Structure 1
Amino acid sequence: MSLVITRRAGEKIYIFLEPNADLDSIVKTLVTTGIEIKVTSIKGSQVKVGIEAPSELTVLREELCEF
């Protein structure tokens, strides 16, 4: 999964494990490839962050999370 999210200072990104994910598989994937987080650009007070993560993970902006 590849995703680019724009954030400002203090805003958050959450990474969740999918409920039906095979834990052994995801652990092996994370150990071998990990999660890549890359700042793709900075414009004023905004930062664009690129996230490359296994499909068994969900990446959400804070405002989309319901806690």
Structure 2
Amino acid sequence: MLVLSRKKGEAILIGENIELKIISIEGDQIKLGIRAPSSVEVFRKELYESIQNENNEAANAPLELLPLLQQKKENKDDF
């Protein structure tokens, strides 16, 4: 892991098109500005990990549930 020190108003570039800028520092928190192309997804790490965990749980659902889900969908389509 690369560790850098930055002051308020200073920035770090990642590649040619991602900029991380220190917006403010208050106690033990910083406000970090991120400028990146819209094609780059930016997530808080804890949110990203939560999404990954939910996707893994859904992918590992027991196969016995699939007929029940299909039946529920068919019943819903009847209305």
* TM-score of the pair, normalised by structure 2: 0.41
**Bigger strand share:** 1
The TM-score, its normalising length taken from structure 1, stands at 0.48
* Greater radius of gyration (CA): 2
Q: Which has the higher contact order (CA 8 A, sep 6+)?
A: 1
Which structure's residues are more often helix, by fraction? 2
